[in-house]
Chains A and B, each alone.
Chain A
């Protein structure tokens, strides 16, 4: 019994004279490791508002709201840290790779949930005929950049490009029902374009 007691006493004294393992956190700031999974945050330069993060989130912690109000269409992406499980799927699936990133912020306790919400707003392009969202302005520009010349084959992208370049034409841009063949080159959703191409509402009736 002599030897074991010495061994444990040694450990006990070691524990007595060594610093406690805990840190002085509230008094000294805690620096999390580099790869710490903290609160995800949107980056306004990188985010194009495609909504991929909303689609892949396993915990449904990201909310996507498409709002169309008196001619103004916006898409808002809201990240709820209270529901987030910090898996990093949003970061991994981000189409630009820069739009949403996990930060090392760990102090997300709150009194009011609104203080911790992280949101980003984008201008939304909607179908001029039925009002279905087609995509955000930035997303369409991003797609156009990636497609190169092929982008000219897509009427919506073409119209978008014209708007970006501020090219003005005399062409009537508003879709006036009933939908016609000429409306195909305007901002219409794939469904409405199909109607314009195949059935041509005016002729059909």
Chain B
């Protein structure tokens, strides 16, 4: 890595590093212990999902987008189904809505518990790691019973869900949730009271409201800084408007508050799931609306994934495949906040700040083309915009 900025020392982290679970590269420009600038590079994991999806049927794309992320694996199918249903302009059956919300919230539970565990691990506090992951395990087992897989649940289908939640599984799910609630109360109190965690996390990696607005950060990262946004409430979908819950916000915007938001959100998730279970228990109903064909047009779909707003855009020309599928994962807007939160901190704190936004790098991968000889980036923003305008003009002339 060239030190072109004339900054003291460059500490490279990645692309393969024991701390990071995915390949990505950080260059920390340090002055002594202090980080003066940070640069981020991605693209080691690029799989061209958007292009692949143009070669698959509408139904097959749900399985493809599910595999964008290994942890929040239902958030992408959720947003994708919302996008296609937006284009189709159909109402899905009520039971399907409840089942969708249950799956979405169970995923939030396991994803947040995973983050709490990892955060403890990054700090060297492995008790938190062990306990959080121990409590996460029954949730994954529940997924296995309901959907057949611990991850990649394959529950979503355009117009509804693929598998029903049977009445015999509901008591098991209730039992797991009741146990988890007790354990979470203990874990939350333990994490929030702990003097070591408070000393390591309070006042670290602070993001103010202005930072959030400038970077466009979403999800728990934004809510920890007091920006009250949540797609589940702001743009209601699935069963979220039918149940009672509240959006958790805190004011300080440091890593400690991000942990608080995530832990308290787990309780809201349990509340949502319990209400959804009440609504579907003992009742029968359709779980999928019939979708014959997808007409011409475009649609957008959003879902509040555990990491923030996940956005999908779909364009159809009336055939059985999407013409354009645009995906924006929440980490794409959350990761640039490192520029604000890492600068001025010490190297030892940067590890937890980087982990604090719960980044998912493989969701975020973008590709850039470089001319090595001329050291020049090809296809820059200006060029791509021009290209896009030319194509629009061509399409207009065609009629």
**Contact between A58 and B60 (Cβ–Cβ < 8 Å)?**
yes
Question: Is A87 an interface residue, CB under 8 A from the partner?
Answer: yes
A-side contacts of B64, CB under 8 Å: 58
Enumerate A74-101 residues with CB–CB distance to B below 8 Å.
85-89, 92
CA distance A1 to B189 in the complex (A): 12
Taking chain A's interface residues, is the majority helix, strand, or loop, or is none over half, making it mixed? Answer: loop
- Which residue in A4, A32, A87 is a CB contact (below 8 Å) of B189? A4
Q: Tell me the minimal C-beta distance from B253 to chain A in angstroms.
A: 25
Name which of B148-156, B271-279, B291-299, B377-385 contacts chain A: B148-156
Q: Are B67 and A89 in contact (CB under 8 A)?
A: no
Q: Is B324 an interface residue (CB 8 A)?
A: no
Q: State whether B63 touches A87 (Cβ < 8 A).
A: yes
Q: What CA separation (Å) do A102 and B149 show in the bound complex? A: 12
**What chain B residues lie within 8 Å of A32 (beta carbons)?**
144
Assembled-state Cα–Cα distance A1/B60 (Å): 55
**Are the C-beta atoms of A88 and B144 separated by less than 8 Å?**
no
> A14 CB to closest chain B CB, in angstroms?
10
Chain B, 115-165, CB within 8 A of any chain A CB: 131, 134, 137, 144-149, 152, 154, 162-163
* Bound form: Cα–Cα A32–B147 in Å: 12
Residues from chain A with a CB closer than 8 A to the CB of B194 are 4
The verdict on A138 contacting chain B, using a C-beta distance below 8 Å, is no
B59 sits at the interface (CB 8 A): yes
Chain B interface helix/strand/loop/mixed: helix
Tell whether, in the assembled complex, residue A4 and residue B193 are in contact, meaning their CB atoms are under 8 Å apart: yes
CB-defined contacts of B163 to chain A, threshold 8 Å: 35
Inter-chain contact total with CB atoms closer than 8 Å: 58
- Nearest CB in chain A to that of B163: its residue: A35
In the complex, the chain A residue whose C-beta lies closest to that of B137 is A21
Which residues of A are found within 8 Å of B154, using beta-carbon distances?
37, 86-88
* Number of chain A residues whose Cβ lies closer than 8 Å to a Cβ of chain B: 22
Instruction: Closest B residue to A85 by CB, please name it.
Output: B63
B57 / chain A contacts, CB cutoff of 8 Å:
56
* CB-based contact A33/B59 at 8 Å: no
Please tell me if the beta carbons of B63 and A33 are within 8 angstroms of each other in the complex: no
Residues of A within 8 A of B152 (CB): 85-86
Question: Do the beta carbons of A85 and B67 come within 8 Å of each other?
Answer: yes
B190 at the interface (CB under 8 A from A): yes
CB contacts under 8 Å to B, within A8-57, are 8, 11, 15, 21, 32-33, 35-37, 56
**Residues B40-63 near A (CB distance < 8 A):** 56-57, 59-60, 63
* A58–B148 CB distance below 8 A: no
Most buried by A among B147, B148, B162: B148
Inside 8 A of B131's CB, which chain A residues have their CB?
A: 11, 15
Residues of A within 8 A of B (CB): 1, 4, 7-8, 11, 15, 21, 32-33, 35-37, 56, 58-59, 85-89, 92, 102
Residues of chain B whose beta carbon lies under 8 Å from any beta carbon of chain A: 56-57, 59-60, 63-64, 67, 131, 134, 137, 144-149, 152, 154, 162-163, 186, 189-190, 193-195
With A35-B148, A56-B59 given, name 14 new contacts (CB 8 A): A1-B195, A4-B190, A4-B194, A11-B186, A33-B145, A35-B145, A35-B163, A37-B149, A58-B56, A58-B60, A59-B63, A85-B152, A87-B154, A89-B63
A/B interface sample: 21 pairs, CB < 8 A = A4-B190, A7-B189, A7-B190, A8-B186, A8-B190, A11-B131, A15-B134, A32-B144, A33-B145, A33-B148, A36-B148, A37-B148, A37-B149, A56-B57, A58-B63, A85-B63, A86-B148, A86-B152, A86-B154, A88-B154, A92-B162
